[in-house]
Amino acid sequence: MQKAELQQQIIAQIKAFETIIIHRHEKADPDALGSQVGLAEIIRASFPAKKVYVVGANTEGLDWLATMDQVTDETYRQALVIVTDTANTPRVDDQRFDQGQELIKIDHHPNDDAYGDIQLVDDQASSTSELIFDLQAASAELQLPATAAQLLYAGIVGDTGRFMFANTSTHTFNVAGELVKADFDPTVINRNLDTLTLEQARLSAYVLEHMTVLPSGAAYVTLTTETLNALNVSVAQAHAVVSLPGKIAAVQVWSVFVQQAPASYRVHLRSKGPIVNQLAKAHDGGGHPLASGARAYSEAEIKAIIAGVDQLAQNNK
């Protein structure tokens, strides 16, 4: 089905339901929040009588961008549920997403888990926030208030690494240009997304000091619970250093292991060229070709992922 037809189906469902509940993925990033709450603000501005809720855990460090609603189980019974920026169902924050009358998926990750009655998925888009803008632009009935424009801009900036990543297209720049016409200050968004706490700055120094760079151009670093506690940094705050190894010219592909339990690590895989999402899928994860997440449940699995990253870098030479 063509994108334009899917957009019209989604718009029709938004118009049909009086209650709409919007989800996104756990451990939300700017695009997850931007697409989720940006869509909510568009619907609220366009149809003031509708009841629109955003659900999930509040995100440490991003409360300046958005906060979540509390929704009862009863509210889902007559609701349209929309999930944004979430590739697979286990990652949906608040697993009641399947309790509504209709389910819509809007996402820009590879559609490996094709859930939802309607699926608007475009893995060539820079971000789900970009897709939400396109949805709004497809209907004269959908308004774009400044609150929504600010959120969508934050989502695009976040997922493109401030327009540095390869997923940035001409269309992405055009969308950003339209968004900044709204009444908000984009420099505030850029500054907030670029700001580190003192503790995160010290973690950055730790990463640069303790990162291993292999001859192939692969790199890796492990952040244990002990290290994070010593630096007074939470697991959520550690995300600020995920892109840091890529600033080094010799590094082409890298992994950051963040301990979350005694035998469980969240694995961030990033690349300047080698495709990493197949490696992520082999280790309970997935994502974009150059930016994916995975899990490691033992020291042996950590070593296997490091070996995989090293092999990717060698194959890229």
Angstrom distance (rounded) from CA 171 to CA 158:
16
CA gap 82, 277 in Å, rounded: 25
Q: What is the pLDDT of residues 13-52, one digit of tens each?
A: 999 999 999 999 998 999 999 999 999 999 999 999 999 9
- % of the chain residues with pLDDT over 70: 100
Domains and CATH numbers, the chain: 3-194 (3.90.1640.10), 198-315 (3.10.310.30)
Q: Name 53's bridge partners.
A: 21
Q: Which pLDDT band holds residue 197 (cuts at 50, 70, 90)?
A: very high
Confidence at 139, pLDDT banded by 50, 70, 90 = very high
Reported pTM: 0.91
Q: Structure tokens of 120?
A: 């608007």
Instruction: Return the closest-CA partner of residue 268 out of 116, 22, 277.
Output: 277
* Region 252-264 average pLDDT: 95
Q: Which residues contact 166 (CB under 8 A, 6 or more apart)?
A: 290
Query: Residues 313, 224, 205, 62: is their CA dihedral positive or negative?
Result: positive
pLDDT average, residue stretch 108-118: 95
Give the C-alpha separation, 12 to 291, whole Å. Answer: 33
Q: Which residue bears the tokens 């209907």?
A: 139
Distance of CA 77 to the CA centre of its chain: 28
Task: Provide the pLDDT confidence category of residue 261 given band limits of 50, 70 and 90.
Answer: confident
**Confidence check: pLDDT of 175 > 80:** yes
- Give the pLDDT band (50/70/90) at residue 237: very high
Res. 80: pLDDT tops 80: yes
Alpha carbon dihedral 225, 227, 233, 237, in 10-degree steps, equals -70
Measured distance CA(123)–CA(170) in Å, rounded: 15
- Say what the pLDDT of residue 60 is: 87
Checking if the pLDDT of 317 tops 80, the result is no
Asked if pLDDT for residue 218 goes beyond 90, the answer is: yes
Return the H-helix or E-strand segment holding 231. none
CA of 192: how far to CAs of 12, 26, 76, 154, 165, in Å? Answer: 36, 21, 34, 10, 19
Quick check: 115 pLDDT over 80? Answer: yes
- Torsion 187-131-45-73 (CA) sign: negative
Q: Distance between CA 112 and CA 211 in Å, rounded?
A: 32
Separation of alpha carbons 283 and 304, rounded Å: 9
Give the per-residue pLDDT at 233.
95
- Label residue 316 by pLDDT band (50, 70, 90): confident
106 vs 135: CA distance, rounded Å: 10
CB 85 within 8 A of CB 128: yes
Task: Give backbone dihedrals phi and psi of 272, rounded to 5 degrees, phi first.
Answer: -100, 0
Q: What percent of the chain has a predicted confidence (pLDDT) above 90?
A: 94
User: What is residue 51's predicted lDDT score, i.e. its pLDDT?
Assistant: 98
Name the average pLDDT for the chain.
96
Give residue 1's pLDDT band: very low, low, confident or very high (50, 70, 90).
confident
Asked if the model's pLDDT at residue 182 lies above 80, the reply is: yes
Kindly indicate the confidence band of residue 254, based on its pLDDT and cuts at 50, 70 and 90: very high
